Amino acid sequence: MKTSYLAGISITVMCVSIAILVYDGASSNSHSSFEHKDHHPADSSHSDSHASDTHKTRQLTTSSIKVFPIPNATEIDHDLAKIGWVLFKDPNLSSNRSVSCETCHSLQTNGAEVMRLMTSFLC
């Protein structure tokens, strides 16, 4: 009795899921390739979005932008790092001059905020 009840529920859930998928597919605005040919005349002025996507991808892969690997050891400019450290700890940068970046962005959490609401907006 319990097995047939569970089987009935499973079949019902599957049928409803299939019906939703079929309805969603039938009511979507996308068109398939055979509909594309029927609704658009065969002229050269029509740009096929699928072809342009391929063309854009090809342009990106052959672009002049060079990708460099992440270096193993980074050179640190200690003067700039010192300025960044001072600014990170400076409460004068907040609107009420009482909250620094370090208040919310702890370096122990890699700068991630541990509070749900930033206190700098409350002060």
Highest mean pLDDT of the ranges 56-60, 87-91, 97-101, 116-120? 87-91
pTM above 0.85, yes or no: no
Domain spans of the chain, in order of start: 87-122
| Contact indicator for 81, 89 with CB cutoff of 8 Å | no
pLDDT value at residue 79:
94
Q: What is the mean pLDDT of residues 10-17?
A: 88
Q: What is the mean pLDDT of residues 116-121?
A: 58
Nearest to 104 by CA among 68, 94, 96: 94
**Residue 92 — φ and ψ, nearest 5°?**
-70, -15
Position 122 pLDDT exceeds 50: no
